Amino acid sequence: MRPAGGAPTSAGGPPAAATCRPAVREEVLPALGFVLGSASEPADDVHVNDFLRFARRRGIDASAVWLADAGGSLAWAVLPVLSPGRTMLLLGPVGGPTHPTVFQIAGQLVDAVCERYGAHDVQLAQVLLDPGDAVSRRLYEGRAFARVAELIYLQAAPRRKAPAPALPPGLRWVGYSADTHALFGRAILGTYDRSLDCPSLNGLRGIEDVLAGHKASGEFDPRLWGALCEGERPLGVLLLARAAPGETMELVYLGLAPDARGRGLGDVMMREALAITAADGGGRLSLAVDSNNAPALRLYYRHGMQRVGAKLAMMRRLDPAPGA
């Protein structure tokens, strides 16, 4: 199958209809090249092969790519990446389709993928776009995706022997296990109250789906999860994961209950995260944060985190909203 050069059309007639479907085996590599490239130029073989190696490490089914077939031409393609917690990330070309016909076909493909996976118990579909990519934003807005947040990506290299912080009197860390699973669920839900971190997501998923999604971020290791407790009451959680073993530790989630904020505990948790990263041999600690979460940004910048990028997060609910 060849990439479409311009708008797919019937010879001398109106724009050709496109068939939206999963790629067959011989179409997977060309479709991945389309997904990993830009709207005007597919990715080269080196880029595709690098992605295939990454996909194998992360358990991503790269062969699940979908395409829009317009009379034998590859008009558009997207790769749905499924995650535990009944969510799906759609990967597509950088820069949206500028020709009206291709724009319409790309939208039909997005709808087809969402409908297929929505019928198989996927609750939420999301995309991460370049904040300056107005065409892609318009494409997804036209297919019922709503803005969640602009995510700021931060990184820092901890000191080689960053010490673990001493806890204030009466506080202790509780590790994650089957016995403390419910405690972590309560702790995370407690941190959502009046949170400035992607508040539009609150209530969209049950806590079991939230926990499953957090576990799927990077390499899950229960030793890297901690609940900060005062007696038996959880005040907050610190969830870490190895994103690239020996290279990067990801701060998956850091949150505090409202009555635990303003006590300097965020600083304690950040020092703990940096100390764990250093002890684990990771070269960097990375995270993503809502650009509107000013208190969190101040906390992270205070601990040496530096901005390395940004993405616009958009989401579409695939299951009917309660009462809809």
Is residue 167 located within the same domain as residue 294?
yes
Within a domain: 316: no
Q: Distance between CA 309 and CA 258 in Å, rounded?
A: 29
CA dist list (Å): 110 to 67, 129, 132, 142, 201: 10, 15, 20, 10, 21
pLDDT of amino acid 2: 58
Residue 6, pLDDT score: 47
Spatial contact of 154 and 286, defined as CB atoms under 8 Å apart: yes
For tokens 């695939």, name the residue: 318
pLDDT at 320: 60
The three state secondary structure string of 165-202 is CCCCCCEEEEECCCCCHHHHHHHHHHHCCCCCCCHHHC
Q: How many CB atoms lie within 10 A of CB 3?
A: 17
Statement to judge: residues 120 and 263 lie in one domain? no
Q: What domain range includes position 132?
A: 2-144
The answer as to whether 150 is a domain residue is no
Q: What is the token pair recorded at 137?
A: 């934003």
Task: Residue 253: name the closest of 267, 242, 268, 237 by CA.
Answer: 237
Element (H, E) at 235: strand 233-244
Pairing state of beta strands 225-230 and 171-175? antiparallel
Residues 67 and 106: their CA atoms lie apart, in Å, by 9
Instruction: Tokens for 108, please give them.
Output: 């039909």
What percent of the chain lies above the pLDDT cut of 70? Answer: 90
**Is residue 139 domain-shared with residue 165, that is, in the same domain?**
no
Across the 324 residues of the chain, what is the mean pLDDT of every consecutive 10-residue run? 51 60 96 92 94 90 95 94 92 91 95 95 94 95 95 92 88 96 94 76 80 90 96 94 81 95 95 93 90 95 96 90 42
For residues 244 and 101, membership in a common domain is answered with no
Q: What is the DSSP letter of 160?
A: T
Predicted TM-score (pTM) of the model is 0.87
Beta carbons of 69 and 75 less than 8 angstroms apart: yes
At 113, list the tokens.
Answer: 């993928």
Quote the pLDDT of residue 40: 83
Could you give the C-alpha distances from 230 to 15, 169, 194, 256, in angstroms and in order?
65, 9, 20, 12
Are residue 193 and residue 98 in the same domain, yes or no? Answer: no
- What integer pLDDT is reported at residue 63 of this predicted model? 96
pLDDT digits (tens, 9 = 90+) for 252-280: 999 999 999 999 999 999 999 999 999 88
Quick one: pLDDT at residue 30? 95
Q: What's residue 159's pLDDT?
A: 82
Split into its structural domains, the chain has a count of 2
- 240 and 304, same domain (yes or no): yes
Which stretch of DSSP H or E encloses residue 311? strand 306-317
- Would 248 be classed as within a structural domain? yes
State whether 59 and 182 are in the same domain: no
Element holding 74 (H helix, E strand): strand 73-83
Task: Show Cβ contacts of residue 92 under 8 Å, excluding neighbours closer than 6 positions.
Answer: 35, 76, 77, 78, 79, 106, 127, 136
179 and 273 share one domain: yes
Q: What are phi and psi of 189, to 5 degrees?
A: -60, -35
Which of 120, 144, 168 represents a domain boundary (last residue)? Answer: 144
C-alpha–C-alpha distance, residues 255 and 289, integer Å: 12
Half-sphere exposure of 81 (CA within 13 A, CB side): 20
For residue 289, the domain's CATH number is 3.40.630.30
Residues 166 and 291 in one domain: yes
> Is beta strand 2-3 parallel, antiparallel or unpaired with respect to 73-83?
parallel
Q: Specify the pLDDT at position 4.
A: 56
In a shared domain, residues 197 and 82: no
Give residue 203's pLDDT. Answer: 65
SS (H, E, C) 205-225: CCHHHHHHHHHCCCECCHHHE
